[in-house]
Structure 1
């Protein structure tokens, strides 16, 4: 039973008991006159209605707080409940807001540490793939080439096929290393890295990617560039793997007060599917730089991912 109904029924029980006492032979006529009974009944009903209205108004802040508690998501910040009501209720709402602020700060700090460790691990794995596995496969290719020169013709054809397979494996290793550690992002910047990402997607899949990269972009910090790149990479990866799309639009434009990254496809859409680890990872990255991420159906179907990164009025320009 809710708090509202407990208080209401308690007050109602008191008022009903008072009415029954008033209907007794000591205070009213015996037998009870019809007019007296009607007046007392109407009065009781009016008091119950007034009591319910007052309780509903007084407990409304608690109902709003309850809804906020059940719907809040730390990865999708929403406006805090406004402290209202009597002193005790307002203090409770303020304490709840302070608790959410602490939880968001702690989550942001832990997420930043986790993502930093993840990027460091990606760099290490990419470096090992490039230095160890890549060099080993390169040496194997050279050895195969030497053996093929002195091998008889039937064996030479087989060795050529093995060489081709090894060469494809080496290319795949290099591609994985580039995805783990986007060196072009550190060396040439975000625009060049996004162009390279689009080229990689179109070169290894049948998805057509149309891109529009604003030439008038601000100069981002390294962490902001990395978040923009990883969100675009994750969105394109999800499109290729799950959307069954044929065309993707990628745009990065500067707008008043923010820069917007948008990836829109013509695939089957998200439907009622729950958010996976990839989308939640994008949300965590967006929170690290104070950006807003929205994943929703596109205007003409498919899925649209929008990342809005706030920029100051005095943000530097390239």
Structure 2
């Protein structure tokens, strides 16, 4: 039954009931109206209005749920669907909306994957140029400054040595940026070594107490999955440094059933009600790329916990 006929039928039932009561009930209307008759009529009208409102509320409830979902749906939190009951017009509308969400989530995941892969390729290119071009040029400048300082006399020698030290610090900063753009240790030594290096570097540059709990007994992971785990850990630590006002942060990675769980937990001010920024939205997009679940919630004691749960497909052993 379509929405039109459903609402029409509800109103017809109410009005038909009222007409039947007027025809067959022992109720009359005098002129002028007697108080008891007015009470009966007003009471009947109130009953009709309440019954009509209740029936309309029941009939339009699916549309209200659809409106709320349309206002709050987020493609970075997939799986939000409305239950479908019956075969009327409202049910068909909900089915069409659910199918549209399915298509949009698929298209969003595909476009995000292309964008993130292009971003990683650009990061590798920039890191390579920083290492090969800028790094080598600064190394050459450093060597020239050293030779000039060795031949110079005071006070010029001290100034050249100071310039040499500044150049050396700048070279280290360029190398650090290149490592952040392209985690070569991830490709060379694996995920655990890369996360250990990331945590050590983060603690050195922020002064925060970084605790690591990284299990070495991880199941085999695809290269794309390892990169997403690394990038989300990197972005989580960056958010702690920028926004959390924390003193301590814990980076954990361990296997659990058919999943691998990564957490970044701090003792800062907590997530609060602030709107998610580009960093967290980027983490959600990366989680979608590998079908993982990202949850950001208050930590058990204080602060914020970022939890990424990655499903792991366990391959059955092959038999001859």
Q: TM-score range by the shorter chain?
A: 0.7 to 0.9
1:262 match? 263
Deviation at 1:261, TM superposition (A): 0.4
Structure 2: how far apart are the matches of 1:272 and 1:29? 63
1:189 match? 190
User: Structure 1 stretches of 5 or more lacking a match?
Assistant: none
Whether the aligned pair in 1 keeps the contact of 2:248 and 2:266 (CA below 8 Å) is: yes
* Residues 8 and 163 of structure 1, relative CA distance in 2, 3 Å threshold: farther
Q: Helix, strand or coil for the counterpart of 1:153?
A: coil
Aligned length: 309
2:284 match? 283
Structure 2: how far apart are the matches of 1:205 and 1:48? 66
- 5 Å-filtered alignment, 1:51-200, equals 51-84=52-85, 87-200=88-201
Structure 2: how far apart are the matches of 1:194 and 1:176? 16
Which stretch shifts more, 236-245 or 284-293?
A: 236-245
Structure 2: how far apart are the matches of 1:150 and 1:9? 100
Deviation at 1:59, TM superposition (A): 1.6
* Residues 288 and 96 of structure 1, relative CA distance in 2, 3 Å threshold: same
User: Structure 2 stretches of 5 or more lacking a match?
Assistant: none
Structure 2: how far apart are the matches of 1:173 and 1:241? 21
Whether the aligned pair in 1 keeps the contact of 2:10 and 2:56 (CA below 8 Å) is: no
Deviation at 1:34, TM superposition (A): 7.2
Residue-by-residue CA offset, 1:106-152 (whole Å, 9 max, x unaligned): 11111111111111110000000000000000001111111112111
Structure 2: how far apart are the matches of 1:46 and 1:311? 59
* Residues 8 and 249 of structure 1, relative CA distance in 2, 3 Å threshold: farther
Deviation at 1:287, TM superposition (A): 0.8
Structure 2: how far apart are the matches of 1:293 and 1:285? 9
Which stretch shifts more, 69-78 or 207-216?
A: 69-78
* Residues 71 and 85 of structure 1, relative CA distance in 2, 3 Å threshold: farther
* Residues 202 and 30 of structure 1, relative CA distance in 2, 3 Å threshold: closer
Structure 2: how far apart are the matches of 1:157 and 1:89? 82
Deviation at 1:313, TM superposition (A): 4.4
* Residues 110 and 190 of structure 1, relative CA distance in 2, 3 Å threshold: same
Whether the aligned pair in 2 keeps the contact of 1:248 and 1:263 (CA below 8 Å) is: yes
Whether the aligned pair in 1 keeps the contact of 2:260 and 2:311 (CA below 8 Å) is: yes
Whether the aligned pair in 1 keeps the contact of 2:294 and 2:307 (CA below 8 Å) is: yes
Residue-by-residue CA offset, 1:10-50 (whole Å, 9 max, x unaligned): 8799679969x97xxxx977777777766665555444433
Structure 1: how far apart are the matches of 2:42 and 2:157? 107
Deviation at 1:238, TM superposition (A): 1.2
Residue-by-residue CA offset, 1:229-248 (whole Å, 9 max, x unaligned): 00000010111122221111
TM-score scaled by structure 2? 0.87
* Residues 8 and 240 of structure 1, relative CA distance in 2, 3 Å threshold: farther
Q: Helix, strand or coil for the counterpart of 2:155?
A: helix
Q: Helix, strand or coil for the counterpart of 1:273?
A: coil
Structure 1: how far apart are the matches of 2:316 and 2:286? 21
Q: Helix, strand or coil for the counterpart of 1:220?
A: coil
